Every structure is written in structure tokens, then in C-alpha cells.
Structure 1
């Protein structure tokens, strides 16, 4: 059976070489393509570039080939944009032309080939999903309804940490408790539910399945099968595992959350209580605007896009404050001075604390959770930067390099919140400056900015108010090595941190 498979692969490769050579000649006459390394038939630049298309590797290619360059990754064209002007073209000026999403063998599985909002192609389905999701998730009204819950969850973190004697001596892996907090923040909004502890069996199961989903989706291991479809038979085991994880996750969402909410609502006839997000989704389903699969894939999006990315940013912010005690002290002084010692920060307070805002902005600049943004795609042939971009090319905006290029930023390698109070005082996280796009901008920007910023402010503010954050005994700093994924950036090691309680 293996020999038969190998024979088919070799025949396919030979046929593809002939086709690729012909197509290459035809395209060479038709297109003025962006610069890039010289591709070879079938494999394109894959053998030169490899699978690891992280933001730092792509930055090195930008330094060689310019602000726009093209990689031929097997049968896929991948255009990478690395300047503010070109980012504006992709995300704003030509937002419709480049507003779609590229296909990916693994994300196709986890999103039902774009039945969600984040990864669907640009068109009527995306507009409908965006509209349905906006009211229950992404408005100021949602912030006003739920910020007290976020404050209560942050207070619970503080209380739980104080009950752990080792937290003040040898230290704890704070991320574990913050993960529970983030799940509770979002599950309050989605289902009016929360988990009592890290040991809650349903939370343990949910966290494990979501973690496996992230590992499988963000890995670069499967790129060869995505780039060269004829090699996909070698991914059969990997894709089967993805399918199994997808099915188990969606079943868990349905059985323990969506159906449970349906039952609860049906037994509370005439109840005038606060609607949670899933109630809006189910109403849209009843009206025939979306189907049950769409509902489940919206839950899938929130579990990954809202919970994990915000958690990564909180973790990065804490790590930088541990490693920069002078910045931590300055932030603590602002909190004590503006609010008063021991007066716990609330969501409305976050706008009164410019240094806290600067710390958050600097964290999102230096340690951008989605450094390449979510990939874009042009459905039709397009022009960009004076070059032709063939239809269905994958477009990556290297937002991390836009925010860390020394030609545009003063000493970008330094963690220096003061830059957002001094030379970059007018720059905001909402995309008002195309050098700084932590949430993207335009039609396909991340709407979660409206939730992420206050949650970051409340969480980081409460921790700095109540604790002195330190590295473990014997260490001067904690490890901030990066781990990149398909388009993610999180800390490699979930560090142990010492949290010494403050007395007021």
C-alpha cells in the first residue's frame, strides 16, 4: 500500500512539474509579480524558506526584498506587506479587494470551511455573522453590562493568590489562575455561566480540548500539505486528529452550554433578566438567519479568538513588568496616587490612568498577540504597490514589524511605555496610525478590542495594586522567549512569578 501511494505521488509530482512550468511561463508574460526568492517548480520557495513563516523570519525577508515580497509556497502565492502605506492599501483603501480569507486545510476543519465569522470569505455570510455578533459581544453597552463581573473575577484572582502561601515565597504559575479568570469573563457574556475553580471537571475538559485545538491549528507541521496538495495523503493522521478534536469540542459546546441555555430559558417564561450572547444567537437561528452549525462555530471563535489572545497579552504584560521593576513601580505609584492606596481599580478608572494605558499599548506593540494579523486574501487578480497579485493569494501584513521597525520607532526593542506619553502620544490601539495595528483595522479588524482593553486594564491594574511582582528566588528576570504559530505569538514558558502582597 505504501509503495502504491509513493508511485501515485511520484506520478503526480511529474505531472505537476509540467503543469507548473507551463503556468509559470504564462504567468510570467501576464503578471508583474513582487520580488522574492527564485522559486523552483512544484515546491516554489518552500525548500528555501521552510515551514516556519513566523513574523521574525518574514521580517528578514522584508529586509532583503523590500516592503512587499512574494513567496511561492508550493501552489500557494504568499504576499507579505511590511510598510504602513501598503498595510493601509490592504486593510483600508482596497479593503474590499483584500477582504477575504485564505483557505487552510486545518482551519477548514475547525471552522467548517468558513461557517464562522473570523475565517469566512468576504461577502454576505460574513456581513450577516458580523452583524449578529456585534450587539451581544462588541459594543460599549456590553462593557457597561459586564465590567463589574470582570472586576469580580480579578478580585477573585487576588484573593486566591493571597491564600497560596507559596505565591509570596517560591512563586506560582500565575497563568493558570488567569486562564480561569478569562474563561469566566467570556462565559459570563456567552452563557451567563462561570466555573468555580481550576478543578471544575467541565472546565478541565474544555481547557484541554481548546488547548489541543490551538496546538494543532497553530503548528507549522502541516504546512507542506497545505502548500502542495498532492502531499496531503501524508497528513491523513494529522487531519483525522483535527476532525476528532473539532467534533468533540462542538459536541461539548452543544451539550453543556448551548442546549443547557435553551432549557434554562424555556423554563423561565416571561423572565426579564439580562440576555446573554447565546440568547441573541439562538434568536437569529429561530429567525432562519443562521443555522445551528453557525451558532457552534461562533462559540468556537470566541473560545479561541477572545479568550486565548487576551490571556497571551495579560501574560506578556505581567512578564514585562516583572522584568522592568522601575516601570512596575511607576505604574503602582500612578494607581496609588490617582485612586488612593488600596482603592481597587474599576473599568471606568482605566481612562484616568495614562501610564496604565501606555503600559498596555507598549505590551501590545512589542509582544503583539497576532503579529501577522489574520491572513487576508484577494478573490480576484489585484494590484498592490505597483505589482500584480494573482487571485487567491494569501496576504500577510507583518503588523509586528510595522510596530518594531527602527525606521519608524525610537529604540523599538526596548519596553518603554513612556513612548506613548511622549513622541507617540497620539497613537492609539484602534488603528489610527498604520504603524501600530495590534487589532488590525478596517472591515476585517478584530472587534474584540472593545473587550480586550478594559480587561487588560482591570487585570494588570489589580495585580500591580495588590502585589509586588517578582521573579523566582535566584533569578533576576523571567524568560520571555517567544513561541510563534501560524499567526500567533505567546510566551514560550509559562513562568513562575512571586507575588508579594502589599499592605495598605
Structure 2
């Protein structure tokens, strides 16, 4: 390291320590803070608890410190809420006070400093973006217009599996084909386009850039520069990679999808049928949003809609493979209600309560975003009688809410029956603050209206067309979790044997 830089860093650390100690003492007199481990100057609790603040580690801390506790991560306050009552307070009762999103060096890059909808602060820009995105993406009309496309994509998955002799014998990594399906589901909505195969060059490029974006954003590598800003010079290489990936993704969205759609509309090749991007481009023409906002909306859908639903499908299949009795019970329901060989469609969902229960149980036990997207209070606030300093990062441990043995009967078991018996009134839409797979309140995930029918169609058709089994020589498939800063997905993309049924 350059000696001048080292000298500046050491001097800066000394100043930061002095300031932190003084501020800590001053704040100690002013604030009644939530309990938590005792922080040390500059580093806070970071050296004590580490980077991996996943749902299970935070659950262990909640059992030690209580349903609300505070971690001081460098210069950032991180407040963790772990009870339904506190979740209601943060997400609903004080939804305005806690309605913003935390900023960090990496997400500032990927969202153009909050030009999107998901990660922007609560205010006029968020309200405008939410309103503009609702009509083309998040209404029942959108579901009815696009359900035939989702059913078609699921049918293609079934056909491809039946045509692949390996699927019925040694098995295939089903996730790869389902990933193509999910991209096609969302790109049909956005651009009225689909990719023909897993080898499509544009699909491969898009998938690679999205994967790299997720890897960089989910990493714990950038935390030290985020927690202690004086250390950010050491992140130059990492942030350069983030900027490069961001620029290439945004350019790809613009050149290959947005501009192509504009050309198609100008030449009359779209047949006058509107897709989501047409509505977004109309808002741009009216001056409600700019070109960057358009591209960051596409960015959000690529991140928030495709992979999260894919993770949930993958978890649901894994649990059904490992619980053949549940898989068979679901198959019997579908056959009895629809008739042998009649394929599941979106309008069938209300008639298939056990299928709905399987989906809910998957979302409960294997929540894709177990800590939800972090919240933030722009100003000093109160929560559970404690003072919450301005710009604190607020995490709701939604996984613990849905897996707390004080609130659920044998939560460690995969048991869909609970949603037909003791929890029959609980829905995934936030009507019960013990079960928040899509959040609740102002900043809830509006994608629930798309995710639930896609989950039902996909899982339903796979179960009714195939007996889903672990590969030869295995009794079960591995369901070890892999988590990032905001996600929980399966560590090993499992090989699944799909033996066609005689229908």
C-alpha cells in the first residue's frame, strides 16, 4: 500500500474513533436505544457478529436479546424486529416513518442512486414509480391477459421433460429449464418476447449479466466499506466491477429490448397489442419519468420478479420430492377435481386448496427473502418504547415470524395441512403478521399477484404429469440453504427424476 495512503487511513481511523466515542456518549444521554451486544468504537458490533447477518443468526440473537435489538455495524445502526406486533408497527402503523430504503455503495450503483422503485426512498418519486408500474404489471387484468402465456410456458417445460430420456432415468437439473420458463414469463409481459431455448445467445448473455449482478449485490464483501466509509478506498476494484456490470446490463436492456420495442411500434409490427414497456414508454413521453427511470424499471423486474419466483418453485419441488406422501396427496386432489389429464390453469386455483396450501407452506418454511427488503427511517423515530436514530436500517425477520414455535405448531415440519386446519385463515397477502413472504403495508411486494398463479400453474402441472423423485441411489435431495444479504435459495441445484405418468 502507498505510505501516504496508509498514513491518511490511520489518521482517519484515529479521528473516527475519537468522534465515535464522543458521539456515542452524547447519544447515550439522548437516546434510549434497544438492547444488543455492547459495541466498540469505530467497528461497533461488526467484529463480534460478523457479516453473515442471515435469518438464522438473527433468530439466535433475538432469543438472546429480545424481539427488538440493535447492532451497531461500524457507523450504521441496524435494528432487528422479530415479533408480529413489531412487524405491524414498522410495516403498517408507522409505515410512513419506516417506509424508506437504506442506501449503500453497491445499490447506489445498480439503481442509479434510487431511480428505480424497489430501492428508492419513500416519497414522491416512489409513489410515481409505483403508480406507473401498477397498470402494466400488478393488476388482475394483467394476470388474465398473460395467464395463457404462463400456461403455455409450463406446457413447454412438460413437453421438453417428456422428450428428454434422461429425465425419467438418471434425472436432470430441472432449475435450468425452469429458469428459461421464468424469463419467458416475464419477458412476455414486459416486451411480448420469448427466448426459444436455453442456448439462445441473447438469453445466455442476459442470464450471465443478471447472475453477476446478483452475485455482486448479495455479497458480504462490500460491507466494510459501507459500514466504515473511510475504508471505501479499498473497495475501488469491487465497485469498478459493479459499475461495469451495471453499464453493460443497462445498455443491453436499452439496445436489445427497449429500442427494439420502440422500432416495432413505429413500424406497426406489434399488431397494436400493448405490453408492459409500452405503458412505461407512454409515461416517459408524457414527461412523468425519464429514460433512465424506464431502464431501472426493467432492472427491477429482472431482479425482483424472475429469480425470487424461481427460488420458490425450486424449493417447492425439492420439498415435494422429499415428501412423496404430500406429492401424492396433491396429485390426487388435482386428478379428482380436474379429471385425469386435464391440465391445471390459473382459474383452477380456487378449486385446489391443497395446491394453495403447498405453495403457502413453501413460502413459510423456505421464504425467498427471509428478512424482506430492509427499511429505513429518515428521521428519529420510536419503536416499542425505544428511540430509533435517523437513518437506521430496519430488518424484519419474516422467516422467524413464520417459524417461531411460540406462534406455529411444529414449524420445522413441511406440513401444508396447517393451512387447511389451524391456520386456514392465513393468506400470503399480509393479512396475518406472522406470515409475510411478500411483506405488508406501503412497501409490500406487489409482485404477489403474478407470483402466486405462476407458482400454482408450474408446480401443479409438474406434479400432475410426473412422479418427481430423487436421483438413483438417493433417498432425498439436499435442501441445504444458501443465503445472501437479502435472499435464501437452495445451495445445490438438485438433479430431479421426472417419470411421466400415464394420463
TM-score interval (norm. to shorter):
over 0.9
- Output aligned runs, 1:90-105, within 5 Å: 90-105=90-105
Q: Tell me the equivalent position of 1:322.
A: 321
2:80 equivalent in structure 1: 80
2:283 corresponds to: 284
Matches within 5 A, 1:2-81: 2-81=2-81
Partner of residue 383, structure 1: 382
The answer for unaligned runs of 5 or more in structure 2 is none
The alpha-carbon deviation at position 380 of structure 1 amounts to 0.2
CA–CA distance in 2 between the matches of 1:295 and 1:206? 18
- 2:435 is the counterpart of 1:441: no
SS of corresponding position for 1:168: coil
Residue aligned with 1:312, SS: helix
Task: Say whether residues 1:213 and 2:216 are aligned partners.
Answer: no
Q: Which residue of 1 aligns with 2:228?
A: 228
1:367-415 CA distances to partner (integer Å, 9 max, x unpaired)? 0000000000000000000100000000000000000000000000000
- How far apart are the structure 2 equivalents of 1:226 and 1:163? 50
Shift of 1:3: 2.4
Offset from partner CA, 1:113-135 (integer Å, 9 cap, x none): 10000000000000000000000
| 2: CA distance, partners of 1:152 / 1:42 | 56
CA shift, 1:221, in A, is 1.6
| Residue 486 of structure 2: aligned partner | 487
> Who is 1:392 aligned against?
391
Task: Report Cα offsets for 1:198-224 as digits up to 9, x if no partner.
Answer: 000000000000000001001112111
Rounded to whole Å, the distance in 2 between the matches of 1:8 and 1:85 is 47
In structure 2, the residue matched to 1:364 is 363
In structure 2, C-alpha distance between the alignment counterparts of 1:133 and 1:351, rounded to whole Å: 27
Partner Cα distance (2:153, 2:345) in 1 = 12
Cα distance in 2 for residues equivalent to 1:455 and 1:113: 31
Deviation at 1:2, TM superposition (A): 2.6
Q: Say whether residues 1:190 and 2:190 are aligned partners.
A: yes
1:106-125 equivalences in 2 (<5 Å): 106-125=106-125
Is 1:294 the counterpart of 2:293 in the alignment? yes
Output the CA distance in 1 between the equivalents of 2:257 and 2:4: 46
Q: Secondary structure at the match of 1:208?
A: helix
Return 479-488 or 260-269, whichever deviates more. 260-269
2: CA distance, partners of 1:12 / 1:94: 37
Aligned residue for 2:70, secondary structure, equals strand
- My pick for the range that moved more, 389-398 or 215-224, is 215-224
Indicate whether 1:156 and 2:164 are aligned.
Answer: no
Q: Provide the residue aligned with 1:313 in structure 2.
A: 312
How far apart are 1:233 and its partner, in Å? 1.1
Aligned to 1:473: 472
- Structure-2 residue corresponding to 1:417: 416
Work out the CA distance in 1 between the residues paired with 2:110 and 2:444: 21
| Secondary structure, counterpart of 2:355 in structure 1 | helix
- Secondary structure of the corresponding residue to residue 72 of structure 2: strand
Q: How many equivalent pairs are there? A: 503
Rounded Cα–Cα distance in structure 2 between residues aligned with 1:450 and 1:226: 34
The residue number in structure 2 matching 1:347 is: 346
Secondary structure of the 1:497 match is: strand
Taking the aligned partners of 1:80 and 1:24, their CA distance within structure 2 comes to 20
Task: Please report how far the alpha carbon of residue 272 of structure 1 lies from its aligned counterpart in structure 2 after TM superposition.
Answer: 5.9
CA distance in 1 between counterparts of 2:185 and 2:209 reads 19
Aligned residue number for residue 338 of structure 1: 337
How many Å apart are 1:273 and its aligned residue? 2.8
Q: Aligned-pair distance for 1:433?
A: 0.3
Show CA shifts across 1:92-117 (max 9, x none). Answer: 00000000000111111100110000
Pairwise CA RMSD: 0.8
TM-score under structure 2 length normalisation: 0.99
1:154-200 CA distances to partner (integer Å, 9 max, x unpaired)?
A: 00000001111100011000000000000000000000000000000
What does residue 303 of structure 1 align with? 302
Q: Distance in 2 between matches of 1:416 and 1:159?
A: 30
Question: What is the distance in 2 between the residues matched to 1:247 and 1:375?
Answer: 25
CA distance in 1, matches of 2:438, 2:52: 23
CA distance in 2, matches of 1:178, 1:4: 53
In the TM superposition, residue 5 of structure 1 has moved relative to its aligned partner by 2.0
Distance in structure 2 (CA, Å) of the matches to 1:3 and 1:157 = 59
Within 2, Cα distance between the matches of 1:98 and 1:158?
44
Name the TM-score, length of structure 1 as normaliser: 0.99
Tell me the SS of whatever aligns to 2:24.
helix
In 2, Cα distance between the equivalents of 1:283 and 1:432?
A: 34
What stretches of structure 1 of length at least 5 have no aligned partner?
none
CA distance in 1, matches of 2:409, 2:316: 20
3-state DSSP of counterpart to 2:27? helix
Could you tell me which residue of structure 2 aligns to residue 267 of structure 1?
267
In 2, Cα distance between the equivalents of 1:235 and 1:58?
26
How far apart, in 2, do the equivalents of 1:78 and 1:224 lie?
Answer: 14
Secondary structure, aligned partner of 1:403: helix
